[in-house]
Amino acid sequence: MSAGDPEGARDRTLAQIDANLEPSLARLFDLLRIPSISTQPDHAGDCRRAAGWLSDLLGGMGFDASVRETPGHPIVVAHDRSARHGPHVLFYGHYDVQPIDPLSLWDTAPFEPVVRNGAIIARGASDDKGQVMTFLEACRALREAEGELPVLVSIILEGEEESGGENLLPFLKANADELRADVALICDTGMVGHEIPAITTMLRGLVGEEIVISAADRDLHSGIFGNAARNPIHVLADIIAGLRDEAGRVTLPGFYDGVTDVPEAVRAAWNRIGLTDEAALGPVGLSIPAGERGYSALEQTWARPSCEVNGISGGYQEPGFKTVLPAKASAKISFRLVAGQEPERIRAAFRDYVRSRIPGDCAVEFRPHGGSPACAVPFDGAPLAATLRALGEEWGRPAVTIGSGGSIPVVGELQQALGMNALLVGFARDDDRIHSPNEKYDVDSFHRGIRSWARILHALAAI
């Protein structure tokens, strides 16, 4: 890269990207043709083939690339140290894909990519092969146009993201000295609407609990024992009803300790997106936020903690009617957490609350179903500001920071194993049908995604 003219070097790279879009698409299509379904044992060889294909591609681009073994599918690691100055970034993506079932609902063969109406249609087109290749093709163009990358780059590509990713955290810990960098970049998210570039800076954590309440030693006739015998469903209903108050707040003592509101500037930016409560909930037939009063639907899902009932079981549930008092009743409860909340503290508070409501003659069993902390990137960080500027320049409108109501485990694992924050930058769109038949990735997302990464790496070099 020319130190004296970074903007001119960047512009040459952007022109290189535009001129070589067709070869870039051809390489993506080659990767999409590999049916790397990590959940199905019959495709273990295909996962290994995809890892080898990516390692060879990166090696041909000048990276020091290798396929690393794990107890499951292999991980690809690559380093480019051509840059003469920092910072050092670690890019994460995954090469495995979801199963294709039901095949009958696909309009084209899932692993024979085609372009229709400006969109690439294939399994993995959006999640995550197309997104991964935006970054790799940006690195290719930077090397070809400028001779080197503007920053130090390491890459890790996982093969088990769609099947639990159980081997990633041990791998990160075992190779921490090699993989640790200044910031992680993850391309497995999307934009807001169709054209607003976004960086996901907040991911909610999770606590999952199943409770089983027992009363009598067997199911009872509700006429003979009803009213006198304790009904576990009544006990369960009382517990569930007490978890939130009339204002939508969770009632567990200390639940909101450490929870803060998002900065007013961030809230204002979210308001400018135009996703009203009706717009956010309308696609699922709703319009009124049901969580804490005083917070929009976006805030309730992106930046506020929650408690939800995911399943209830007890008594007779087959067709017809049976007058029975069940011996047991159960519920599955999940808590979505935000920064400042500790999963095990929330779990303990929930169990204490449940025990306080268990009457005599009843017992409760707790079955944990995982827990992970929330992740948040500081709003005032230099890498975040530089990346927002770069995205805004490419897409012609201000980029925004957003939250995600869900959880992406790799973000927490990178923090845990490597002590690194991550910027989640993706170019998927809401209609990409990920995990569904006819998954697609717009050619425009792919093309401008490549250009965006070239701009971002230049912007990071400037800090």
Residue range 309-356, pLDDT digits in tens: 999 999 989 999 999 999 999 999 999 999 899 999 999 999 999 999
Residue pair 95/55 in contact (Cβ under 8 Å)? The answer is no
Number of folded domains in the chain? Answer: 2
4-18, 212-226, 377-391, 401-415: lowest mean pLDDT where?
401-415
| Whether pLDDT at 2 is above 70 | no
Query: Phi, psi at residue 60, to the nearest 5°?
Result: -70, -20
pLDDT digits (tens, 9 = 90+) for 159-196: 999 998 999 999 999 999 999 999 999 999 999 988 89
| Per-residue model confidence (pLDDT) at position 4 | 64
| Per-residue model confidence (pLDDT) at position 408 | 80
**Average pLDDT of the segment spanning 28-36:** 98
| Per-residue model confidence (pLDDT) at position 309 | 97
Looking at the structure, tell me whether residues 170 and 117 fall in a common domain: yes
**Average pLDDT of the segment spanning 370-387:** 88
Q: Which residues contact 248 (CB under 8 A, 6 or more apart)?
A: 290, 291, 292, 293
pTM (2 decimals)? 0.84
Looking at the structure, tell me whether residues 359 and 393 fall in a common domain: no
Looking at the structure, tell me whether residues 232 and 179 fall in a common domain: no
pLDDT digits (tens, 9 = 90+) for 418-436: 999 999 999 999 899 999 9
132-146, 166-180, 203-217, 268-282: lowest mean pLDDT where?
268-282
Looking at the structure, tell me whether residues 350 and 398 fall in a common domain: no
| Whether pLDDT at 1 is above 80 | no
With CA atoms as reference, report the closest residue to 16 among 447, 426, 459: 447
User: How would you label 7-27 residue by residue, b for 16+ Cβ within 10 Å and e otherwise?
Assistant: eebbebbbebbeebeeebbeb
| Per-residue model confidence (pLDDT) at position 368 | 94
Looking at the structure, tell me whether residues 38 and 93 fall in a common domain: yes
Last-in-domain residue among 356, 371, 386: 371
**Average pLDDT of the segment spanning 193-200:** 91
| Whether pLDDT at 446 is above 60 | yes
CATH code of 319's domain: 3.30.70.360
Last-in-domain residue among 317, 346, 371: 371
Looking at the structure, tell me whether residues 125 and 239 fall in a common domain: no
CATH code of 146's domain: 3.40.630.10
DSSP letters spanning 30-94: HHHTS--BTT-GGGHHHHHHHHHHHHHHHHHTT-EEEEE--SSS-EEEEEE---SS--EEEEEEE
Last-in-domain residue among 330, 345, 371: 371
| Whether pLDDT at 3 is above 80 | no
**Average pLDDT of the segment spanning 141-153:** 96
What range defines the domain where residue 92 resides? 6-203+374-461
Considering the chain, what percentage of its residues have pLDDT values greater than 70?
99
Tokens of 164: 């639990």
| Per-residue model confidence (pLDDT) at position 280 | 86
Looking at the structure, tell me whether residues 16 and 131 fall in a common domain: yes
5 confidence band (pLDDT: 50, 70, 90): confident
The Cα-based distances of 67 to 51, 155, 269 in angstroms read 7, 12, 42
Is 282 part of any domain?
no
| Per-residue model confidence (pLDDT) at position 461 | 95
**Average pLDDT of the segment spanning 92-96:** 98
| Per-residue model confidence (pLDDT) at position 378 | 82
